[in-house]
Structure 1
Amino acid sequence: MASTSFNWTPVLIASLVVSIGQFSMGLVFPSLPWIALSLNISAEDAQKLISFYLLGFGPSQLIYGPISDAIGRKPILLTGLSLTLLGLTIVLCGNDSFGLLTLGRFVQGLGAGCCAVLARASLRDSYQHDELAQALSWLTIVASFTPIIAPVLGGFINHYLGWYAVFVSLFSYIAIVFTLLFFIFKETLPQKEKVPNLTHILITYSQFLRSRYFISFATIGWLNFSLVVLTISMMPFIMQIEIGMSSDQYALWALIPAFGLLTGSSLSNRIRPKIGIKKTLFIAPILHSSAGLWLIFCPATPLAMMLGQFFLTMGNGLALPCAQTQLLMPYQKKAGSAAAVSGAGQMIISSLLSMLLMSLGINHAWHLGLVIMIFAMISVIAIINGFNSVP
């Protein structure tokens, strides 16, 4: 049970910030089949609206992290959100052009890259020791849960108002959050420094990438997030095209994996203090392997599809908070840079894997099951390596 003296304000602000990046992706997923029909493009082209967003989101974090470590979190956050709103403006004004849609999504991603970095870095500024682990755990739950619940909201908006309204809603949400943060977010960086030069930034990043400890726990997060992206980008096509659901019907069924993530997160908070992070992490690959086997052999029915995704997201709920806590705990003075490398890798790898697997024809449930099982085996190796190394 959380201590009554725990200060929830930084967690709530960080959760609001990180939700922007996740909603920017998750709200759009259910609309992809309808965007493809509206613009007369293929499903593979429609997927590029996700991939281009991630390609902008991922690398930009490498810029936001070290600069925010020097001049502060708030000015970088507001600058990034302004760029996000610019990208959405391009999308809204160029809604009949696929080229402008992809350009706008890329610019949106460039701006939204500040969210994941600064949310985690601000928590590292605000908490120490056990409170930091608790804060990061809650933030990771929000960051993991939002991509699951966002397609539910996006599905309803798309069904009743159309796909254009999805982007209008997203613009409105980010504009409101920008206004709130402008007035209520207080700078968390205790001491400002000179902005590091490119050489210093590259040296810092190379140290992270050469660290067996860092790479091991980052890999767990990268693989788990890649599964989230791949699954929720594939399921709208499986459920709506192959099975014949409408987008609002899919939105209701998508609540099942959302509850799976909540179940996993709740279970993680209950058992982690009793059995430790290491044993908790090892439960996730077991759940993922079970989900993979189920999706390989289960019938193509809505309940069967969502049951497999339930166990997948339950494993995500267990793994992501533990991996993120282990990753950032050792890095106090370089919180922004550590979060940047982790976040950039997460988005770049999930984007490239998604494009690669889709190009290879991964479009059936049993294909997804095989991928999940392979990722589970890699996660086991990463867990073992992480706990057998030092920061």
Structure 2
Amino acid sequence: MNGNRFGRLFQVTTYGESHGPSMGCTVSGCPAGLELSEADIQRELDRRKPGQSKITTSRGEPDAVSIESGIQDGFTTGTPIGLTIENKDARSGKYEPFITAPRPSHGDFTYSAKFGTRNWGGGGRSSARETVNWVAAGAIAKKLLAREGIEIAAHVCQIGDIEAPEVPFDEIRERVDEMDVRCADLDTAERMQERIEEYQREGDSIGGGIYFEARGVPVGLGAPRFDSLSARLGQAMMAVPAATAFEFGLGREAREYAGTDRNDEWEFDEDGNPKPADDDHGGIQGGISSGEPIYGEVSLHAPTSIPAEQQTVDWETGEVIEDAQVIGRHDPVLPPRGVPVVEAMLALTLVDFMLLSGRLNPDRVDDDPGEYDTDYHPSNPRTE
């Protein structure tokens, strides 16, 4: 089965199943000299891990990461970084009724039809547990970006029909983890929490959306057509389990705008460089970063594993099962734990483009293993 690798220069290859011995990934292409510890990665994993609140699955996974390679004396060596996260609380027994009877709206039947087999315990590779690998790799990407002055933030902007007002970037970074629901507008977060708990009591689930933003991204990342920044970012976000839509800038609202309203006119900044007067384009023009903040949203559907009775069929016996129940430990909503996943995929995409453009130059300026020459920007027309 292919599709287990993300990125071109900064490559992440993942492995593991939801109820297997462990999850893990290999990160290739990370420059040497980045100060990195397990604690750096663990901080991000703790934001994603299960069992952190009453609106998440009760599965008790510590998600403790172990760095197996690519680090010496606390700094990356430039060789592949191996990361392992053990599964400690897998319970496959509750999935046995669905070995040949697909759970509604899961990948059970499509996986089995394509590959002739599947790991049915917890969904195997199709489980959202696999995103633990993405967040671990994304923590490394975030550290690289921070060194270049690039900051990333995301928060839950919608649950059901409850929408948060616009929240400033700095407030998102400061407040996102204050509430279990991870909405940076605290009043809206309380209403979202109440709505989630209503669905939870009814044995149901609910969908929502995640807003993301990156600041400090330089001009010139991306290329037209298939290597455009928006196309690659769309691939990253639509890989997130339960993602049904990705948009940047005005997104789907752009269809309602006339050109005179949507077009971003140009002006000079204080250094005499051209810059858009507004940012309705979401930091990307012609598939290439404009230097303005990159922002957008990802929509996630309601979790499909719910205890409510639903109909399925058994493809071996031919039986129609009208009262199938998916009993287990599942999230009633996905965006709260999806925030660090979206941040990770944004970071991984940007780091890959930074390497492709030569902006993460591995040539050291001096003997400090954490300092690099980042003055050369080959796609900046004003660099001499």
Higher relative contact order (CA 8 A, sep 6+): 1
Structure with more strand by fraction: 2
TM bucket, shorter chain: under 0.3
When normalised by structure 2's length, the TM-score is 0.27
When normalised by structure 1's length, the TM-score is 0.27
